[in-house]
Amino acid sequence: MPAWVQKVLVLCTTWLLAACAGRQSALDPQGLQSGQIRSTFFIFLAVSAMVWIAVVLVLAVGMLRRKRATHTPLDLHEGFEQRAGRLVLGLGVATTVIVLGLSFVSYAGQRNVFAKDEHALTLKIIGHQWWWEVHYEADSPHQSFVTANEIRIPTGQPIKVELESADVIHSFWVPSLTGKMDLITGQKNELQFTAKNAGVYRGQCAEFCGLQHAHMAFDVIALPPDEFGRWRDHQNQSAQSPADQLGRQGEALFRARGCALCHNISGTLAGGQLGPDLTHVGSRTTIAAGTLPNNPATLGAWISDPQHIKPGNLMPKMPLQSNELIAILHYLEQLK
């Protein structure tokens, strides 16, 4: 093999591998379920590849081989017709055996993927146009809290998500961890998965849900269990009171300018229920359902004109003076 061919091959393979890896890839599993699914997929892929190659080979040979001489199209060879008929039927039987075999492989995989664990950590996720409401529920109400667009979970522990919709149908999908499940109006679905490794795995709505379906993403952040415990304890607390004058001004403006009508910030007078809970918004990594990274610049741009960044979303553009915007921004940034 010439050196350049090798080089190209190596490049291609590396590129392919790089392309398959990623924080939203079914080919780069980081969970028990996604690993199982990938194994099933590879079995199917191998069988399919063999069948396809066999068909193309037979086609090629059939076209190229020397043919017997005939005078008219109806000058058929009785022996061939019989042999071909038997062969076709034999292959039909073989196909049946293969697909039944694959059905069993599939069902075995399915049972593993959908196996249920009674001791799973339960989250409730409610889909909205176009963001995710996440409830961490515990027996004691003091242990329960609500967040949005970011799901933190402990590694190694089975997670159960209960899926509901507040409006239209959405679909919860984190390919690195498991397959998807729909959030259906008037129905409760559930899905279980376990993250093997710590990391940030991106998920995205997979069922067309209207204008901004493309911008309805979220992150699942898998943390080592102790770190998760600390995060959870922190989330359980009410919002920090602003530490400075500007922050207090921001808090007041948050109510005065109508933000509080839609957004909840626990421990304050802001108790709106229509939009994402912002109690700890400053600690989140993204805003606008995974649309932008969370930093003062993007958050400021978002608040000053949400319709520019994500046209059609339900957050109206509020007329804010620039000093008001700075104050609100300063306040939100502190809600770690």
Partner 1 sequence: MSMAAEKNQLRDDVLNGFQLSQQLERIWRTPSGLLGALMSVDHKVVGRRYIVTAFVFLLLGGILAVLMRIQLAGPENTFLSADKYNQIFTMHGSTMMFLFAVPVMEAFAVYLVPLMVGTRNIAFPRLNAFSYWMFLFGGCFLWISFALNVGPDVGWFAYVPLSSLQYTPTKRPDVWAQMITFTEVAALAVAVEIIVTVFKQRAPGMTLDRIPLFVWAMLVTAFLVMFAMPSIMVASTSLILDRLVNTRFYDSSSGGHPLLWQHLFWFFGHPEVYIILIPGTGMVSAILATFARRPVVGYPVVILSLIATGFLSFGLWVHHMFVTGLPQLGAGLFTASSMLIAVPSGLQIFCWLATLWDGRPVYRTPLLFVLGFIVIFVLGGLSGVMVASVPIDTQVHDTYFVVAHFHYVLIGGAVFPLIGAVYYWFPKITGRMLSERLGRWNFWLAFIGFNIAFFPMHILGLIGMPRRVYTYTADMDWAHLNLLSSGGALIFALSFALLLINVVYSARKGTLAGDNPWNASTLEWATASPPPPQNFDRIPVVKHRDPLWADGESLPVVAGLSAERREVLLTSLAEAEPQVREASPEPSIWPLLAAIAMTIFFIGSIFTPWAVLWGTPPMAIALIGWFWPTGSKEDEA
Of 258-297, binders to partner 1 (CB under 8 A) are 291
Residue 335 CB, shortest distance to partner 1, in Å, is 25
Nearest CA to 306 out of 263, 247, 251, 250 is that of: 263
Q: Quick check: 11 binds partner 1 (CB under 8 A)? A: no
Residue 324 CB, shortest distance to partner 1, in Å, is 29
Query: Among 205, 222, 289, 332, which residue interacts with partner 1 (rule: CB under 8 A)?
Result: 205
Q: Quick check: 46 binds partner 1 (CB under 8 A)? A: no
Q: Where are the beta strands (DSSP E) in 10-120?
A: none
Of 72 and 140, which has the nearer Cβ to partner 1? 72
Selected range binding partner 1 among 80-88, 148-156, 258-266, 270-278, rule: CB under 8 A: 80-88
Q: Quick check: 229 binds partner 1 (CB under 8 A)? A: no
Residue 273 CB, shortest distance to partner 1, in Å, is 18
Selected range binding partner 1 among 6-14, 170-178, 221-229, 321-329, rule: CB under 8 A: 170-178
Q: Quick check: 82 binds partner 1 (CB under 8 A)? A: no
Selected range binding partner 1 among 166-174, 232-240, 268-276, 322-330, rule: CB under 8 A: 166-174
Distances (CA, A) of 117 to 33, 34, 192, 228, 290: 13, 16, 8, 20, 29
Burial bucket for residue 132 (CB in 10 Å: 0-12, 13-18, 19+): buried
Query: Among 7, 111, 234, 308, which residue interacts with partner 1 (rule: CB under 8 A)?
Result: 111
User: For the chain, what is the largest distance between any 2 Cα atoms, rounded to a whole number of angstroms?
Assistant: 100
Burial bucket for residue 255 (CB in 10 Å: 0-12, 13-18, 19+): middle
Q: Quick check: 40 binds partner 1 (CB under 8 A)? A: yes
Of 171 and 249, which has the nearer Cβ to partner 1? 171
The pairs formed by 253-258 with CB atoms below 8 angstroms and a separation of 24 or more are: 253/320, 253/324, 253/327, 253/328, 253/331, 254/328, 254/331, 254/332, 257/318, 257/320, 257/324, 257/328, 258/318
Q: Quick check: 257 binds partner 1 (CB under 8 A)? A: no
Rounded to the nearest 10 degrees, how much is the dihedral formed by the CA atoms of 292, 311, 210, 114? 10
| 48, 214 contact by CB (below 8 A) | no
Give the Cβ contact number of residue 223 at 10 Å: 19
Query: Among 1, 118, 139, 186, which residue interacts with partner 1 (rule: CB under 8 A)?
Result: 186
| 317, 307 contact by CB (below 8 A) | yes
Of 47 and 198, which has the nearer Cβ to partner 1? 47
Selected range binding partner 1 among 2-10, 152-160, 202-210, 246-254, rule: CB under 8 A: 202-210
Q: Terminal CA-to-CA distance of the chain, rounded, Å?
A: 58
Distance CA 49, CA 185 (A): 40
Q: Quick check: 318 binds partner 1 (CB under 8 A)? A: no
Selected range binding partner 1 among 141-149, 178-186, 257-265, 275-283, rule: CB under 8 A: 178-186
Q: Quick check: 55 binds partner 1 (CB under 8 A)? A: yes
Phi and psi at 139, nearest 5°, equal -60, -40
Burial bucket for residue 160 (CB in 10 Å: 0-12, 13-18, 19+): middle
Q: Quick check: 22 binds partner 1 (CB under 8 A)? A: yes
Query: Among 267, 296, 311, 316, which residue interacts with partner 1 (rule: CB under 8 A)?
Result: 311
Query: Among 85, 258, 267, 296, which residue interacts with partner 1 (rule: CB under 8 A)?
Result: 85
Q: Quick check: 298 binds partner 1 (CB under 8 A)? A: no
